Amino acid sequence: MTISVSVLSSALLLTMTSLAFAASSVDLTVKGLITPSACTPSLSQGGVADYGKIAAKDLRINEPTPLPITTLEFGVACEAATRFALNAVDNRPGSGTEASYSFGLGLINETEKLGNFVMLLTHYVADNLPVTKLASRDNGATWDANSEDAIWMRGRLAAFGDDSTGNWAPSAMTRLSSDLIIQPYIAPSGELTLTQEQPIDGSATVELLYL
């Protein structure tokens, strides 16, 4: 009996040792870059496009109703020449009536999409010099020139630069000034329950990303 127990114990020990030697591993790397210069974005009017009260009877029944354009002054001030990109985040996700590119205006009864708004950066100058508006579909890996009247599509980064290196790329700058155009659209009123006052609740955050 003693021999049998001893053999069993040895077999178990060999199995555990084999498992220990067969263990796999994976490395974790924590990376980043601390920049000595900081940039601060700003918007005029406190970043608010206020349309006041709009009568439901003035809305189009079978097609979207465009509201007047609001122009805000957008700027970025950096402590030193810095390369950066801009990302617009929809704070009302899932409420936009144009899912591919616009930003939502909120919901009625938690299900009815009130409408959407689009944004456009235009009349931009960097360090008092002209630059080209750029857009990236792959989180900044590559950039393309963006036309003056191209809207700022949700999910794409925006930046300003040139192709002096042979490829379009954001430029380092200390100061950027631009107009930010806001164009809202209210969904067809025939699709909405407008029996009481309904707030227009659009909201987006402009993030500045260091490159």
Q: CATH number of the domain that 43 lies in?
A: 2.60.40.1090
Nearest by Cα to 81 from 147, 44, 37, 114: 37
Give me the domain span that covers residue 169. Answer: 34-210
- Predicted pLDDT of residue 96: 80
Residue 175, domain member (yes or no): yes
Residue 17, domain member (yes or no): no
pLDDT, mean over the chain:
85
Residue 103, domain member (yes or no): yes
- Predicted pLDDT of residue 2: 29
- Predicted pLDDT of residue 57: 93
DSSP annotation string for 145-211? E--TT----TT-EEEEEE-TTSS-EEPPEEEEEEEEEEEEEEPPGGGS--SS-------EEEEEEE-
Pick the residue with more confidence: 105 or 22? 105
- Predicted pLDDT of residue 23: 65
Residue 140, domain member (yes or no): yes
Rounded CA separation 39/26 (Å) = 37
Rounded CA separation 182/62 (Å) = 23
Number of domains the chain is built from: 1
- Predicted pLDDT of residue 36: 65
Residue 130, domain member (yes or no): yes
- Predicted pLDDT of residue 93: 86
Which pLDDT band, with edges at 50, 70 and 90, does 29 fall under?
Answer: low
Residue 177, domain member (yes or no): yes
